[in-house]
A and B are shown apart, each in its own frame.
Chain A
Amino acid sequence: RIWKRAPDGAWHCSDVLEGVHESTVRSCAWSPDGKLLADASFDGTTAIWEYSGGDFELVDTLEGHVNEVKSVSWSQSGSMVATCSRDRAAWIWEILPGNDHECVDVLEGHTEDVKMVQWHPFFDVLVSVSYDNTIRVWADDGDGKWPCVQTLTEAGNSGHSSTVWSISFNQKGDRMVTCSDDCTLKIWDASIDLSQPTTGEGHESWRHISTLSGYHGRTIFSVHWSSEGVIASGAGDDAICLFAEENSMVEGPSYRLILKKEKAHDTDVNCVRWCPQNPRVLASVSDDGTVKLWELQGDILD
């Protein structure tokens, strides 16, 4: 459903895009130029819609996954789309003129359902998170293939101990936050461009900075980093938490809770997203069937 805000501030549903998918549409993403919308469906396909002349039109369908597509993400240039699925793979597609597309590569490595994919805001690097508890980073090897250049695990990298559901980069692209069924959020240093070949012995990698635990009592399903540096998280405990980064010269970055909105919804909060235009406005959705818009003013979220 497409929602538009009227001049008086009220939101209404302007369009319903239907008749294409045969099953749940799990997630969707706007292209960077805002002209296209990609949606990921449990029927295994990803539909691309074009918004022109006030109407949405189906212009392309990406088929390739064997079962449910969980997430879709546009690269910063808008030329590539990444999708991931329960079939344990992530696909990278090149979007070509004339509503055409080609498969660039199939990224295999996860041993379980891949929950989400997200492009780095600047580097030619893709991150995927999975039911197998790991976070994988994939980069262009210059030869048309995208091998996995790093895997962040529980044992090796202070990674998550259960399903990783969501991932978000900060605006600068030097930090990444992930959230998990283990009820924690983890912040990672993502400042190194893993798409560049490393010379010499030392293999540079993204490393764990901080773990935020004890804030949610249930699986944290979604996390999103605003352009003002506020991290929002939504969880199965029906609450939304907001965190801010603090940088101390001595100890490095740390994160403190700004507020926790208990009972933000009647039940599980499935997704939280900051408004691109207004970094104080947050949207949240839930199994209770509602979409709620919040505004952060000082210490209050309403």
Chain B
Amino acid sequence: MDFLEPMIALDETHYQDGYKDGYDDGMVSGKEEGRQVGLKLGFQVGEELGFYQGCLDVWMSIIRLDQGAFSARVRKYMEQLAALLSNYPLSDPENNLQDMMKEIRLKFRVITGSLGAKLGSARKCAAPGIMEDTWSSVSNNHLKSLQLEKILESCYFLSL
């Protein structure tokens, strides 16, 4: 039986060599792909959060000029949105990012839903495009991030 061993061993070594080469190649391309996806997703998240922060900045300026511009309830919602935005971990990604994003989006919708009549005419002529585009981009982003999540998952597997 001894003469058979090197043959079997050779088969095994070839396998191991191939596996290692594949693994190393995969590691490199996987990391690059992951980096691309991360950049894209990161930009989208940043863009969305930036939009909300921008709206908040405008609303805060309005409040400074006119205390009574918004009702107490709406001011409270804006404060809550500000807190949610500052809590979002931009540098250290945690696990429940999707939930935090959902909360932020909902709070934003509640605010704009409550501003309807007051900003009525202004909303309809000045920033309608922005508001409406945000709607579609917000819901689209959510869908896109779900797809990206799947790609990210597969990258994760490759890099293991």
Note all chain B residues with C-beta closer than 8 A to A98: 117
Distance in angstroms between the alpha carbons of A144 and B75 in the assembled complex: 14
Q: Are A62 and B116 in contact (CB under 8 A)?
A: yes
Q: Which of B83-127 contact A (CB under 8 A)?
A: 106, 109-110, 112-114, 116-118
Q: Does B74 contact A (CB under 8 A)?
A: yes
Are A100 and B118 within 8 A (Cβ)? yes
Residues of chain B lying within 8 A (CB to CB) of residue A66: 109, 139
Q: Is chain A's interface secondary structure helix, strand, loop, or mixed overall?
A: strand
CB atoms of B114 and A102 under 8 A apart: yes
Tell me whether A106 and B106 are in contact in the complex, defined as CB-CB below 8 angstroms, given that A66-B139, A144-B73 are known contacts. Answer: yes
Contacts of A60 in B (CB 8 A): 116-117
Interface residues on A, range: 10 to 19
- 1/0 per residue, CB under 8 A from B, across A85-100: the answer is 0000001000000111
The closest CB in chain A to the CB of B109 belongs to A64
- Find out whether the CB atom of B116 lies under 8 angstroms from the CB atom of A100: yes
**Per-residue A-contact encoding for B114-158, CB less than 8 Å = 1, 0 else:** 101110000000000000000000010000000000000000000
B71 proximal to A (CB < 8 A) = yes
**Closest Cβ neighbor of A102 among chain B residues:** B114
Interface size class of B (residues with CB under 8 A): 10 to 19
Contact (A64, B139) CB under 8 Å given A100-B118, A102-B71, A106-B106? no
Chain B residues near A266 (CB-CB < 8 A): none
Check B110–A61 contact: CB distance below 8 A.
Answer: no
- Residues on A with C-beta less than 8 A from B118 are 100
Q: Are A103 and B139 in contact (CB-based, < 8 A)?
A: no
Judge whether B117 and A103 touch: CB under 8 Å.
Answer: no
Residues in A neighbouring B110, C-beta threshold 8 A: 64, 103, 106
Q: Does A101 lie at the interface of the complex (its beta carbon under 8 Å from any beta carbon of B)?
A: yes
What is the minimal beta-carbon distance from A68 to any residue of chain B, in angstroms? 13
Give min CB distance, A220 to chain B, whole Å: 33
Residues on B with beta carbons closer than 8 Å to the beta carbon of A102: 71, 73-74, 114
Can you name 7 extra interface pairs (CB under 8 A) apart from A63-B112, A99-B117, A100-B116? A60-B116, A62-B113, A91-B113, A101-B117, A102-B71, A103-B77, A104-B73
Closest 4 CB pairs of A and B: A64-B113, A100-B117, A102-B114, A103-B110
